[in-house]
Amino acid sequence: MNKIDARGLSCPAPVLETKAAVESRHPRRIEVLLDNEPARQNVVRFLESQGYRTWVDLDGELYTVIGTGGDSAPVPEPVATEPVGAGNKIMVMVAADRMGSGDDVLGAKLMFNFIKTLKEMGDELWRLVFVNSGVKLAIDGAGTVADLKRMEDAGLTILVCGTCLDHFDLLERKQVGQTTNMLDIITAMQLADKVINI
């Protein structure tokens, strides 16, 4: 049944529930029960923006919004919405200044390329964390700093382990990212949907 009972809910909950139902089931016909005028306006607008024809039954205080024709040609959304990364937060933890083991010169080159290419993860890249010798990628003179700065300017949160900087005596030389501690790193791991260790 594509019936949503949104009575007792205030905006924007009714329109968000309607949206979830439309997206998961793509019903040809949908009925939404509502008990306030603002919710009616929002739900009607949303359904119409998705290509439904709507009408409203008013019975006392109770509105029933009925939308039909939802699976006709999909209507482009009025705003440019990229696929959303909201549910997918990726944390990348870099624990060395080289990638892999075997040849250190190759490892350094690979790491340089890795940082350069990392932005291709797009919006899902949520935290970039440097620990142990990884912090050396964020200090002056490192070839990776320019790319890291660009990512930070674009909104990425970069965390650099303070204990590690201190250990290598590099506290004064950090060029990019926020100095962080183990509690913040663990919290970030907990909040992330995916943690990638390099």
Partner 1 sequence: MPPGDLDKALCGLNFPTNPNVLVGLSRADDAGVYKVSDDLALIQTVDFFTPVVDDPYWFGQIAAANALSDVYAMGGEPKTALNLVGFPLKQMDISILRQVIQGGIDKAEEAGVVLLGGHSVEDEELKYGMSVTGFIHPDRILTKQGLNVGDRLVLTKPLGTGIVNTAIKGNLASGEITRKVTAIMAALNNTAATVMRAYPVHACTDITGFGLIGHLAEMMRGTGLGLKIILEKLPIIDVALGFASMGMVPGGTHKNRSFLAPMVDMDEGVEPGMQDILYDPQTSGGLCIAVAPTSADGLVDHLQSEGVEHAAVIGEVVDYPAGIIQVV
Residue ranges binding partner 1 (CB under 8 A) = 10-12, 15-16, 19, 37-38, 41-46, 49, 77-87, 122-124, 155, 157, 183-184, 186-187, 190
C-beta of 115 vs 125, nearer to partner 1: 125
Distance, in Å, from the CA atom of 168 to the CA atom of 101, rounded to the nearest integer, reads: 21
162: number of Cβ within 10 Å: 17
Minimum separation from the CB atom of position 95 to partner 1 (A): 21
Distance, in Å, from the CA atom of 61 to the CA atom of 181, rounded to the nearest integer, reads: 55
C-beta of 113 vs 187, nearer to partner 1: 187
Q: Please report how the helices 104-117 and 145-153 are oriented relative to each other, as an axis angle in degrees rounded to 10.
A: 20
Minimum separation from the CB atom of position 86 to partner 1 (A): 5
C-beta of 12 vs 74, nearer to partner 1: 12
Minimum separation from the CB atom of position 191 to partner 1 (A): 8
* DSSP-H helix ranges across the chain: 13-25, 37-49, 104-117, 145-153, 162-167, 182-191
Minimum separation from the CB atom of position 60 to partner 1 (A): 19
Q: Are 92 and 99 in contact (CB under 8 A)?
A: no
C-beta of 110 vs 196, nearer to partner 1: 196
Residue with tokens 């709507």: 54
Minimum separation from the CB atom of position 10 to partner 1 (A): 5
C-beta of 53 vs 106, nearer to partner 1: 53
